[in-house]
Amino acid sequence: MSNGLPLARTNAEAHLFLKLQLCRQCGESRCEFRSSVVYVGDVLASRYTGRCPRCDVERVYEFQLPDEVPPPHGDGVRFGGDEPSQLMDPGVWLWYSDVAAKQAPLDTKGLDEQAIRSARHALATALAAVEEVLKFIPPGADAVAASAFTSPDGRAVYDSEPGRFSRSRLSAIRDYYADQRANG
């Protein structure tokens, strides 16, 4: 971090973070943000601004831009490079992976082409989110460290089932989503 700004590694990561933020005044989750590129001190940043549709409070978030933007992931989803997220902890990423995976039906037979594309995108999102969790496991370690869970929501996911954060279990989930996506 520079100047106290968290790094948003990609637009996809920044947009997901914004989607998960609640209005500090009324708790509303909806907000349409406008983005601009600004300098915060000497740091190039993305600034997202919007007004809460319920209470009209202004919502502003600023993120440091990466020195290099990771290339697109073909027809997949990419939230960041090799380093762990500064915006969301591993518990939030795994929760979001679960949410995305539930949007993909187990059987795509009988679905139209648009529904199949939506299912494939949901699985790609679930896969990318699990890959984000794996980035929190240090080399040589077998699991995400308990200290990596820095948000109340992420900590709650960890506390409910800490075994989900082992390298072997996360790798099995990642491989399952990748297989489902390839064969779906």
**pLDDT tens profile 10-37:** 999 999 999 999 999 999 999 999 999 9
What pLDDT is attached to residue 122?
A: 94
72 part of a folded domain: no
The three-state DSSP-derived secondary structure of the chain is CECCECECCCHHHHHHHHHHCCCCCCCCCCCCCEEEEEEECCEEEEEEEEECCCCCCEEEEEEECCCCCCCCCCCCCCCCCCCCCCCCCHHHHHHHHHHHHHCCCCCCCCCCHHHHHHHHHHHHHHHHHHHHHHCCCCCCCCECCHHHCCCHHHHHHHHHCHHHHEHHHHHHHHHHHHHHHHHC
Structural domain boundaries, residue 167? 90-183
Query: Does 55 share its domain with 124?
Result: no
Query: Does 44 share its domain with 98?
Result: no
Q: Select the more confidently predicted residue: 70 or 145.
A: 145
Residue 1 pLDDT > 50, yes or no?
no
pLDDT tens-place string over residues 94-108: 999 999 999 988 888
Residue 181: name the closest of 73, 82, 83 by CA: 73
Query: Does 54 share its domain with 117?
Result: no
One-letter amino acid for residue 15 of the chain: H
pLDDT tens-place string over residues 150-173: 999 999 999 999 999 999 999 999
The CATH number covering residue 47 comes to 2.20.25
75 part of a folded domain: no
84 part of a folded domain: no
> Do the beta carbons of residue 165 and residue 144 sit within 8 Å?
yes
What pLDDT is attached to residue 8?
A: 96
What pLDDT is attached to residue 180?
A: 87
Query: Does 95 share its domain with 154?
Result: yes
What pLDDT is attached to residue 184?
A: 65
Could you give the number of structural domains in the chain? 2
Query: Does 118 share its domain with 50?
Result: no
15 part of a folded domain: yes
21 part of a folded domain: yes
